Structure 1
């Protein structure tokens, strides 16, 4: 097979990046053309004159032609240099258009943030984080989808959310995540319920056998409770099964029956004695709160800033 002047096999294409000077070199050549001086061109670009001279020489070696004649009176483009400069101007203008376009894309991305959060986080933690984010990014429009942890995972995997928050036992499949806080589930009843007057904690078996007011399957609260009571006979048939933390709490306050809710959700009601916490022994209902995002797609832009606020 015949070979080219530099030893490449004829027909083998050398990558364009190896054959064309980089943008910095082309910008330097244009500056030399404007100023007629290598020194003034170097100052405009914020580099030293020796560095500028080295870059010009390197470009000349790469192209195989002399571009600049240097003399005590200044620097003048050769005929080849003038021609290369015309081509360089078009390349730099195209690069500037490319830069403007990518800035517009970043601006569009950074102008909105889509958040999916499970109910407890959406109601009791996210509002404070979003207020803090707004002070940093007043121009970012935030949309929030509140649902259970399974719904949050679905929204992220479908590309309908940029960042999610869940309360389950682990990171859902297909997602990466970071722990942003801790929580625990409490058994609560209205003050008139018999459990409110108990002198000793509930056993795990007693809790498992009692019909409770519960969140729906797929919620982080339900996942943690199901897991905690698996070794104690599992949950009894629910007394009520409701799709929001607020609804579960309202039913418990009304005296409908015992409920299991996040400590975050019932702090105010317990303090005001509208609900009574019932201790439980022999079972842990602690859980981690997590920020989650699609695997291998670490949050960027406003999603990254919101994530940093949750970890502050």
Structure 2
């Protein structure tokens, strides 16, 4: 019992000492900005030392001489020592000013190195853009956006990874993409999003299919019970259709791209449900026929997505702005 109590007391004392050190460290760190001049003031002092003139230093830095004088006086008050002797013949550093100038030179050089490093990071970030997009957006919308981005950022290399909405989410969460685009009914877990547009799904068949000659709209229940040519599970189109109809019959054919689904429908394999964006040409040329549905609206949002808390920057932000233009 006595030993246990002693251990507890020692632990408490040690914790208190460490806590005291931490508190003092925080106090020092917190007050450092108030006790050390800012970079602008240091650059001004270095210019005065180099040019021997407060007015010349002010002109070099693009400020007025009264503003430069005020900044030097503020710096002197902050440090508690005189830094510059002013006379009609110019400005001369005091002994303390010469010492402070030497320290300031090291800090400014370190700041320049910091700035160069940060610029190198930005250059590396801006040199590439990795985009992941679900199939409809990748095939029918992204090409135009990327052409516009190329005009603005000709030196940025862009790679596009196309897949279903689930695959887009996986790539973003694994840091294999900088920005994604999906078409599903909800935002995948772990991602933030912004709606960039809207789309409508329509039922289509080849002209020879019985549905192409219907005089009345198709009932939602009949659509749900009919085997269709569909995208694979995980695709935005499949998610929207399944949610709208409350379930689907076993697919007639299951394919992994919008283009493949469309080709099968044009070939007469059976009816399908596709994005209105994907079938405009086929409807115009009557290779496909749109079949009205009576009591269901197959609409969906098109979304840009990115990992939660990591809003797009650099080229990804630029591309996002283009999608909204």
Give 1:260-299 correspondences, 5 Å limit.
260-299=273-312
Q: Does 1:240 align with 2:253?
A: yes
**CA distance in structure 1 between the partners assigned to 2:186 and 2:90 by the alignment:** 68
Which residue of structure 1 lines up, in the alignment, with residue 317 of structure 2? 304
Alignment of 1:1-312 (within 5 A): 13-15=27-29, 16-230=32-246, 234-312=247-325
Structure 1 vs Structure 2 CA RMSD = 1.3
Evaluate the alpha carbon distance shift between residue 260 and residue 74 of structure 1 in structure 2; reply closer, same or farther with a 3 A threshold. Answer: same
In structure 2, what is the Cα distance between the partners aligned to 1:66 and 1:105? 40
- Could you list the runs of 5+ residues in structure 2 that have no partner in the other structure? 1-22
In terms of fraction of residues, the more helix-rich structure is 2
TM-score (structure 1 length as normaliser): 0.94
Tell me how far apart the structure 1 counterparts of residues 190 and 65 of structure 2 sit (CA, whole Å).
Answer: 53
Cα distance in 1, alignment partners of residues 220 and 295 from structure 2: 6
1:98-157 residue CA offsets vs partner (Å, 9 max, x unmatched): 111111110000010010000000000000000000000000000111000111111111
SS of residue paired to 2:28: coil
Aligned equivalents of 2:317 and 2:149: distance in 1?
Answer: 11
Please list every run of at least 4 consecutive aligned residues from structure 1 whose deviation after the TM superposition is greater than 3 angstroms. Answer: 10-13
- In structure 2, C-alpha distance between the alignment counterparts of 1:228 and 1:20, rounded to whole Å: 63
1:19 CA drift (Å)? 2.5
Distance 2:28 2:205 in 1: 75
**1:170 Cα shift?**
2.1
In 2: Cα distance, 1:174 partner to 1:191 partner: 43
Deviation of 1:18 after TM superposition, in Å, equals 2.6
Unaligned runs of 5+ in 1: 1-9
TM-score relative to the length of structure 2? 0.90
Within 1, Cα distance between the matches of 2:146 and 2:268?
A: 34
Question: How many residue pairs get matched?
Answer: 300
In structure 1, distance between residues paired with 2:28 and 2:322: 47
